[in-house]
Structure 1
Amino acid sequence: MSTDAPRTSAPSRLALLIGPVLLAMAASLTAGALPARSDDTSQADSLGCGSAEVTRTLTTGSAWRMCVRIDRIKGLVLEKVQFRPATGDREYSGWLPVIDSLYLAQLVVPYDAGGFAFNDITEYGFGDLHLLDQNEQTCLGDIMSVQQSTMSGSQYSERTSPGICLDEVDTGLGWDSKGSEVDGTDNDRYSQQGSALEVSSISKISWYEYQQKVTLTDQGTITVGLGATGDLATSIFSDDPAIGWPIGSEHDEATAEHAGSHWHNAVYRVDFGIGSGAQQVQQWDYAQPDPGPRGRIEGTGTIQTQAFAADDDPDPQTWWRVLNPTSLNRDGHPRSYEIANDSIQNPYDPLTRPKVSFTNDHACQEYASDNLNAGCPGLSVPDYVAAETEPLTDPVAWVSVGFHHIVRDEDQSPMPAHWQQFSLIPRDLLAQQATTPLARSCVNGGPFTIYGSCAADNLAVPRIMVGAGPIGPGTVLSSDTGIWRPARSPLGYQRVWLRDGTPIASVGGDGLPINATAEEYTVTTADLGHEISVRVDASADGVIPGSATSSALSIPPAAGPTGSPPTSGPQHRAKPRLKVTVPARGKPRLKIRVWGNLGAATGRVVVRAPGNWKRARTLHHGRVTVRVPKAQLKKAQAKRGKRLVVKYQGDARYRPLKHQFRPHRR
């Protein structure tokens, strides 16, 4: 922490150890007040953490659930973290436990000038009055209220704080694969934008504001980050360039300052819970027996059976994973999570030198240093490693994520957030990636070819063709088969003509019903006043079958009292309805729905906003949510500003539609 005076806001060590009764009371008040979403999980299948339970299904279909709370000392805490892939029964339809608990166990901030070093977690705490309220500027998603206990000297009080942000965010291109290099179309291309759930809180410690953020992606990756923003403090530091950096004008002695360089050493505690039962830690090291740019590189995986700290200066290729040898994916491989930590570590402190240390889970080992738990007071991670005598079967990873802050002019108020983070990446958690489309579901192992869809995948529904003139009994209808992805085997097509969605049947020579399945269908008097459509069933050997149904063609009813039968020309695409909603509290998101008499629309929606901003998104069940930057939203709200434009591009049933509007101020 940068500061120009001793930190008078920090509670004393005595206040933090106020006694087991008050600490127990505080712990009971940290659960969030946002109820679990009833559409995602039942009460009988709950995690047992009451209003602290969070369940979110992402736009891409994958889902996360967990218990989220604010601890008065640790700040943001995630517990019982579970993942459910979008692929469902094809891979795993239930919840996969992955993490028992995750939180920031210490933040060590020593200054290069010497004499100043702070342990922001155990000396201050990220909860209590240090927790800042979320608002529409800090949180673009849902704000979750928490009950907080606070201590001011010996005075204990409680408050409700909107302290946790839950936000689904776009992560950019999730995946893209084009099967055929020679096919000039996109018929054999597979693409999807990724999404993730961000869980975050903000705490103010002296001059700094820290955002604790955990990002949980639709692929099962968990990225843990600490962002530092706020303001700089400079006055206690000399102008020695060896320990800082000049800021302010060199031409004005009154404003010239010198900010001290310092470290932010975050040490996280990750208690793994992949499935159930004993787990293992595996270290992978690499070597090149025959040196040279094209020499063979060999990797060796070693199961670490005892607690350990990584080497002070490990090979950059070395990595670690936690695996469960009895929890196997569909392919029979043990599920695991890899720790990816590309940050630098402070080499001058035995606590922060190792990229990662591993111990067994012990309830008293709560903090990475200056431990406040009465069961093992004052100890640190090196002490935990040295004291461990049992085999490493219930692993806790202590991950050190460093950032050496060399201040710059641009860090002056308000300082842009700078980030330090690591990721937990699923390795063999599933047999395939978590959002694999059905069309690529058979690409698993070998031998295989990347060309051709695994399933009969329709890209454009069939169309009914009718000649000119009035439609009535005797009119001959025909149809195409629609457009389908190139499959691994040539597709065969079977038509089934439908009246009001039900197969049209006649009685065959054997007295049994026969569905109308010819390429053509002749309208009969039974069709008058009804809707005719055609379903095309596609199949092939070794290919998952699929179906697609055309838009409905309305057959005019019988002639009215005047004796003049109504007429109708060829079927045209219908006009859809388009509704755009801006959520309350001015959140910069548009909820778009496109539908009509033929049901939910398909296809894409393009949103344009002032400042040449544009986003294109694909409808899912006729709906899509598009995030609009707050600056563009404000421009569109201005009285003389340009309006937002939402354009639906149309599909085989509905024609294009454009809607311009000015979002209301809220």
Structure 2
Amino acid sequence: MADGRRLSSRLVASACSVALLGAALLTGMSMTGPALAATRAPGAQEPACGSALVTRELSTGSAWRMCVRIHPFKGLVLEDVQFKAGQGRDEDAGWIRAIGSLYLASLHVPYDNGGPAFDDITEVGFGDDQLLPQTPATCDGDTMDIEQSFLRGSQLVERTIPGICLREAETGLGWHSQEGWANSGDRYTQQGRALEVSSLSKAGWYEYQQKISFTDQGAITVGLGAAGDLAPGEGFFPTEPALGWPIGPDGNPQTDRSAGSHWHNAIYRVDFAIDNGDQQVQQWDYEVDPERPTLVRGEGTVRYQAFTAEDSPATTWWRVLNPASVNADGHPRSYEIVNDAIQNPYLPVTRPPVSFTNDHACQEYASGNLNSGCPGQSVLDYVAAETEPLTDPVAWVSVGFHHIPRDEDQSPMPVHWQGFSLVPRDLLAQQALTPPDRACDNGYTVGATGSCAAINLTPPKITGDAPAPRAGTRLTADSGTWRWARADLAYHWLWLRDGEPILTTGDDGLSTAATGETYRLTDADLGREITVRVTASATGVTPGIATSAPFVAPLPTPPSAGATRTAPELKLKVLKKRDKKGRPRLRVVVRGDQGAGAGVVTVQRRGKIVTAALTDGRAVVRLPRPGKRYRVTVTYPGDPRYLPASATVRVRR
């Protein structure tokens, strides 16, 4: 609350100040008739505001970005506010513009005794010297530095202070759904988060916190918190108890008095800019059927001209929509104004819960306008002067608080709040953080239960058929466990070695990925991490992937000194089926009493020598196309377990 001292120089300077403009005027389709809905390409351009840009991704995944400034009179000003959902369809992905500009346009504080009355925005202001620096005691998040230049009396003050607080806050239970009856079925829940942007200003004996919260669901809650102290002086302590409330000990002539009741009449200016193009204001009214009192009908009406919503029923509400921008379901994107605050009914300008005009640069303040383009005017004047169709709507939202003091307001005074919310209505086709499990629940689903996506609960597990795994050991993998889905899941196994797909060579000499529930270890797998990746899928269900914990078969222990090596069996077979060029293929198998041979074999064919690596003691080698019969000699050099060996095979035409 102001203390009665006013600087006339401030008023003169304010009339000459350059106004902070909202977003650029929107252009688009005519609003004189029905509009054709058309989807937009998601992804608004980043706000062009330099160091004033704030971009924050919340821990739940949704994000906000905007320009954040401090104005000498309005205090906290936000421009080009954009939202991005944490989850959603491709059509609803990317940044969506919501608000062109938002700020406190009037704060009128009249006392019930008919004496003091103050305009804390237009006469004192929330910026300049009234802006209080943020400290760790007032802001447990990040702070933004604000550069200021103003007159303190006749002295020019230039300073930089941490004037804005940015913090992520808990909002409580974000959403919860228990599928099925009572304690049956799957349970979905998440705690909500919000970005809070705030500033602190001192106007007389009151300190005000301007705080705007941006939730992970796309809602915007605007709050004004009043703290500080009750104003001193005889003018604020009426002798008539009906004009205030008794505070202080009874019977003490120094303290037995009443503190004056008063109003905090706040009016906010909200310039809507939902995506691109002209906007509409839609009013929803409800009525009861006289024949059926329990039947309540709601009907939406587009308001084409500027208006004040005075004397509107409590059930009436308003939204601003963009008919040319639709969500993935084809519904126009909009924001609904939710204003549950009271309004001061004794002043014409504060009586309507909301008024709508077009965006005009000179119409900056809700009353006592300081802009020289339309000086001294109020919202009522703006509405009366508007002649154009309502296509670029500005909402003037009135949120009053009748402060009846109490003993507990002494001292310091606890914060009391007043405010309103802007709630997204059809901004997205589903909520901003829809879990994949519920992604297919869009519209009326009759008795549909189970997850919309393959959600893994426990990963697959690998087991071996031998207590001491080695080359040749067969591994078996289960599918893991998965959340019950809306269709029977099918599973596909892919085996990996150190995170890469394992390739095996078949009898045809071609390499293929190792798939299926089982896999037999080779020498190349020993000492490496073997995992299996399971993909679960079904018709109409989003696929899911889960990977097992690693399975490691140890490298073979080298034989002790003096150990006797044995002779392996070296088998050669020319395969009947040739490749596409008619070339024969030779299969080599090296095995013995200690399992599969390891390493390489040397193949000598028609004067040429090549080597081939053994996999599980096997290798397949392509041979030259014979013009006549020739011999192929295969030599195995041996390993720590086996002696060298060789064999010869004849290749026919």
Interval containing the TM-score (normalised by the shorter chain): 0.7 to 0.9
Task: Provide the rounded CA distance (Å) in 2 between the counterparts of 1:466 and 1:261.
Answer: 81
1:300 aligns with 2:299: yes
> Which stretch shifts more, 232-241 or 488-497?
232-241
Q: Please say which structure displays the higher CA radius of gyration.
A: 2
> Which stretch shifts more, 173-182 or 219-228?
173-182
2:377 maps to which of 376, 379, 389:
379
Deviation at 1:455, TM superposition (A): 1.2
1:541 corresponds in structure 2 to: 539
2:435 corresponds in structure 1 to: 437
Give the aligned residue type for 1:144.
M
Task: Provide the rounded CA distance (Å) in 2 between the counterparts of 1:512 and 1:183.
Answer: 54
1:197 match: secondary structure: strand
Encode CA deviations 1:409-458: one digit per residue, 9 max, x unaligned: 11111111110010000111111111111221111123454411111111
Task: Provide the rounded CA distance (Å) in 2 between the counterparts of 1:465 and 1:245.
Answer: 78
Deviation at 1:497, TM superposition (A): 1.6
Instruction: From the superposition, tell whether residues 477 and 351 of structure 1 become closer, same or farther in structure 2 (CA, over 3 Å).
Output: same
1:18 match: secondary structure: helix
Task: Provide the rounded CA distance (Å) in 2 between the counterparts of 1:63 and 1:165.
Answer: 17
| Correspondences of 1:201-220 after superposition (within 5 Å) | 201-220=199-218
Asked if structure 2 preserves the Cα contact closer than 8 Å seen for 1:179 and 1:450, the reply is no
Deviation at 1:327, TM superposition (A): 0.9
TM-score (norm 2): 0.79
1:511 corresponds in structure 2 to: 509
Task: Provide the rounded CA distance (Å) in 1 between the counterparts of 2:543 and 2:14.
Answer: 66
1:15 corresponds in structure 2 to: 10
Deviation at 1:45, TM superposition (A): 5.2
| Consecutive unaligned residues in structure 1, runs of 5 or more | 29-43, 565-666
Task: Provide the rounded CA distance (Å) in 2 between the counterparts of 1:151 and 1:235.
Answer: 28
Asked if structure 1 preserves the Cα contact closer than 8 Å seen for 2:279 and 2:320, the reply is yes
| Correspondences of 1:250-265 after superposition (within 5 Å) | 250-265=250-265
1:336 aligns with 2:338: no
Asked if structure 1 preserves the Cα contact closer than 8 Å seen for 2:92 and 2:429, the reply is no
1:146 corresponds in structure 2 to: 146
Deviation at 1:321, TM superposition (A): 0.5
1:439 match: secondary structure: helix
Asked if structure 2 preserves the Cα contact closer than 8 Å seen for 1:234 and 1:259, the reply is no
Give the aligned residue type for 2:418.
Q
2:274 corresponds in structure 1 to: 274
Instruction: From the superposition, tell whether residues 381 and 544 of structure 1 become closer, same or farther in structure 2 (CA, over 3 Å).
Output: same
Instruction: From the superposition, tell whether residues 27 and 395 of structure 1 become closer, same or farther in structure 2 (CA, over 3 Å).
Output: closer
Task: Provide the rounded CA distance (Å) in 2 between the counterparts of 1:247 and 1:563.
Answer: 100
Asked if structure 2 preserves the Cα contact closer than 8 Å seen for 1:17 and 1:372, the reply is no
1:211 match: secondary structure: strand
1:559 match: secondary structure: coil
1:320 maps to which of 318, 321, 324:
318
2:552 corresponds in structure 1 to: 554
Encode CA deviations 1:110-145: one digit per residue, 9 max, x unaligned: 111111111100000000010000011111110111
Give the aligned residue type for 2:118.
F
2:314 match: secondary structure: coil
2:425 corresponds in structure 1 to: 427
Task: Provide the rounded CA distance (Å) in 2 between the counterparts of 1:66 and 1:279.
Answer: 20
Encode CA deviations 1:547-582: one digit per residue, 9 max, x unaligned: 100121233233257589xxxxxxxxxxxxxxxxxx
Task: Provide the rounded CA distance (Å) in 2 between the counterparts of 1:182 and 1:518.
Answer: 40
RMSD, matched Cα: 2.2
| Correspondences of 1:254-653 after superposition (within 5 Å) | 254-290=254-290, 295-311=294-310, 313-466=311-464, 469-560=467-558
Asked if structure 2 preserves the Cα contact closer than 8 Å seen for 1:234 and 1:258, the reply is no
Asked if structure 1 preserves the Cα contact closer than 8 Å seen for 2:452 and 2:542, the reply is yes
Asked if structure 1 preserves the Cα contact closer than 8 Å seen for 2:448 and 2:486, the reply is no
Give the aligned residue type for 1:457.
I
Task: Provide the rounded CA distance (Å) in 1 between the counterparts of 2:52 and 2:544.
Answer: 42
2:133 corresponds in structure 1 to: 133
Asked if structure 1 preserves the Cα contact closer than 8 Å seen for 2:464 and 2:474, the reply is yes
Instruction: From the superposition, tell whether residues 166 and 182 of structure 1 become closer, same or farther in structure 2 (CA, over 3 Å).
Output: closer
Give the aligned residue type for 2:238.
S
Asked if structure 2 preserves the Cα contact closer than 8 Å seen for 1:165 and 1:199, the reply is yes
2:157 corresponds in structure 1 to: 157
Encode CA deviations 1:62-104: one digit per residue, 9 max, x unaligned: 1111000000110000000011111255342221111000000
Give the aligned residue type for 1:325.
P
Task: Provide the rounded CA distance (Å) in 2 between the counterparts of 1:494 and 1:481.
Answer: 8
Task: Provide the rounded CA distance (Å) in 2 between the counterparts of 1:166 and 1:346.
Answer: 32
Asked if structure 1 preserves the Cα contact closer than 8 Å seen for 2:106 and 2:266, the reply is yes
Deviation at 1:505, TM superposition (A): 2.4
Task: Provide the rounded CA distance (Å) in 2 between the counterparts of 1:52 and 1:106.
Answer: 23
1:609 corresponds in structure 2 to: none
Asked if structure 1 preserves the Cα contact closer than 8 Å seen for 2:85 and 2:216, the reply is yes
2:170 corresponds in structure 1 to: 170
Asked if structure 2 preserves the Cα contact closer than 8 Å seen for 1:234 and 1:260, the reply is no
Asked if structure 1 preserves the Cα contact closer than 8 Å seen for 2:14 and 2:370, the reply is no
Deviation at 1:183, TM superposition (A): 7.3
Task: Provide the rounded CA distance (Å) in 1 between the counterparts of 2:345 and 2:212.
Answer: 26
1:180 corresponds in structure 2 to: 180
Instruction: From the superposition, tell whether residues 63 and 307 of structure 1 become closer, same or farther in structure 2 (CA, over 3 Å).
Output: same
Asked if structure 1 preserves the Cα contact closer than 8 Å seen for 2:226 and 2:416, the reply is yes
Task: Provide the rounded CA distance (Å) in 2 between the counterparts of 1:510 and 1:552.
Answer: 30
Give the aligned residue type for 1:387.
A
Task: Provide the rounded CA distance (Å) in 1 between the counterparts of 2:535 and 2:78.
Answer: 47
1:382 match: secondary structure: helix
1:569 corresponds in structure 2 to: none
| Consecutive unaligned residues in structure 2, runs of 5 or more | 22-43, 563-653
Task: Provide the rounded CA distance (Å) in 2 between the counterparts of 1:67 and 1:152.
Answer: 28
Give the aligned residue type for 2:87.
T
Asked if structure 2 preserves the Cα contact closer than 8 Å seen for 1:88 and 1:94, the reply is no
Task: Provide the rounded CA distance (Å) in 1 between the counterparts of 2:365 and 2:92.
Answer: 35
Instruction: From the superposition, tell whether residues 314 and 507 of structure 1 become closer, same or farther in structure 2 (CA, over 3 Å).
Output: same
Instruction: From the superposition, tell whether residues 410 and 531 of structure 1 become closer, same or farther in structure 2 (CA, over 3 Å).
Output: same
Task: Provide the rounded CA distance (Å) in 2 between the counterparts of 1:521 and 1:334.
Answer: 54
1:296 match: secondary structure: strand
Identity %: 61
Asked if structure 1 preserves the Cα contact closer than 8 Å seen for 2:246 and 2:256, the reply is yes
Asked if structure 2 preserves the Cα contact closer than 8 Å seen for 1:235 and 1:258, the reply is no
1:495 match: secondary structure: strand
> Which stretch shifts more, 70-79 or 478-487?
478-487
Instruction: From the superposition, tell whether residues 230 and 342 of structure 1 become closer, same or farther in structure 2 (CA, over 3 Å).
Output: same
Task: Provide the rounded CA distance (Å) in 1 between the counterparts of 2:305 and 2:7.
Answer: 37
Give the aligned residue type for 1:518.
G
Give the aligned residue type for 2:256.
A
Asked if structure 2 preserves the Cα contact closer than 8 Å seen for 1:346 and 1:353, the reply is yes
Task: Provide the rounded CA distance (Å) in 2 between the counterparts of 1:358 and 1:479.
Answer: 65
